Amino acid sequence: MILNIITILCFIVIIRYFVIANIDNSIDIRTKCKLYYLLFILTVFWLSLYCSKRYDVAIMMALIALGSQVVYRYNVDSSKEENTRKNDIYFVLFMGLISFLSFYLRSKNNYNKKTVQYISYFIVLYFSGSFIEWFLHRYIMHCYFNSPWLHEYHTSHDNIMSNLIEKSCTSHHNHHKSVNPDMKLKEIKDKYELFFDWITTFMIWLIFFLVSFFTSNVLDIHVDVKIHLFATITAVLFYVLFWNTFHPTMHKSNLHIGLDEGAPNLNIDIGSKNIYYNNHVSHHNIKGNDKGNYNVVFLGIDEVMGTNTNHN
């Protein structure tokens, strides 16, 4: 087993350096990020599949690798030379660990398949939530810049969905215009600029339920529908509670949200020395095509899609 792991690691390291050395410098950073994560996830998946001979284990390892890489990137400035060297060491160690665990589970004929499924499921839940937040924030709430066709569609179509999208887009556009560089607000034309009401919460849950259910089944991760219903409701309530509590405080607002308006905000100040606050400051202060950091609560997909402006 040890000889197999060493051989596999040498092969992967050679491929990694070949790809990095030959990648086209004319490709923009966002495309590079997508390609990197695609290659990274596929590498881990095929490595684990080769070592374990089990599809469910390979899926779990690929998802764990994705989560680990994203957490690492959000906490380390990999542009620094000393961290670049550390990246190489961590990469080899991580691939070695993946290989070892995959070989170990291969030798365990009676390993707990349900545990493997649930680990994969909860990682899928998180990244589904992160993708939905990123997509809705970028293409719906910033539709004037990123998807102007939606605004044009609304001018000629009057229906419930079109009105909801236009309301979200206009409200968020006004929110950005009211924010100073220090994150304080000039004025609030509509307090709904700062939090999600119950209708928006329901729409987020519905999209989250469908996307995460579809993704889980595509990856052959099967969970009882009742468990999925409970998990998605719990996750969305947590998400909206987090947003409604911390988004106003990020903008130094003392807004009170009643239970009849949306998930009530808690009396907690997020402060200004943490990853969430710094992430959101960059979202507001970087303009134009370079704007990013569309994740506010479920950080992650910004990094995968190359819109994490803290690095890029």
Q: Residue 292, Cβ neighbours under 10 Å: how many?
A: 23
Residue 137 is predicted with a pLDDT of 93
pTM: 0.87
Whether 78 has a pLDDT exceeding 60, the answer reads no
Of the candidate ranges 114-118, 192-196, 217-221, 302-306, the one whose mean pLDDT is the lowest: 192-196
The larger pLDDT score, comparing residue 311 to residue 131, is at 131
Mean pLDDT in residue range 13-22: 54
Apex 170 CA angle, 166 and 174, nearest 5:
170
Identity of the highest mean pLDDT range in 82-86, 174-178, 187-191, 296-300: 296-300
Mean pLDDT in residue range 71-85: 68
pLDDT in tens, 152-206: 766 666 767 777 777 788 888 888 888 888 888 887 777 888 889 999 999 999 9
Apex 210 CA angle, 204 and 212, nearest 5:
95
Contact between residue 264 and residue 278 where contact means Cβ atoms under 8 Å apart: no
pLDDT in tens, 154-167: 666 676 777 777 77
Q: What gap in Å lies between CA 132 and CA 203, rounded to an integer?
A: 11
Mean pLDDT in residue range 241-260: 89
Residue 11 is predicted with a pLDDT of 54
Whether 3 has a pLDDT exceeding 60, the answer reads no
pLDDT band at 84 (very low <50, low <70, confident <90, very high): low
Mean pLDDT in residue range 290-305: 92
Domain layout of the chain by residue ranges:
1-110, 112-312
Of the candidate ranges 6-10, 41-45, 85-89, 265-269, the one whose mean pLDDT is the lowest: 6-10
Of the candidate ranges 81-95, 99-113, 234-248, the one whose mean pLDDT is the lowest: 81-95
Contacting residues for 20 by C-beta, under 8 A, at least 6 apart: none
Q: What gap in Å lies between CA 40 and CA 19, rounded to an integer?
A: 11
Residue 265 is predicted with a pLDDT of 86
Contact between residue 58 and residue 50 where contact means Cβ atoms under 8 Å apart: no
The average confidence (pLDDT) of the chain is 83
Contacting residues for 158 by C-beta, under 8 A, at least 6 apart: none
Residue 96 is predicted with a pLDDT of 76
The widest CA-to-CA distance across the chain, in whole angstroms, is 66
The larger pLDDT score, comparing residue 124 to residue 110, is at 124
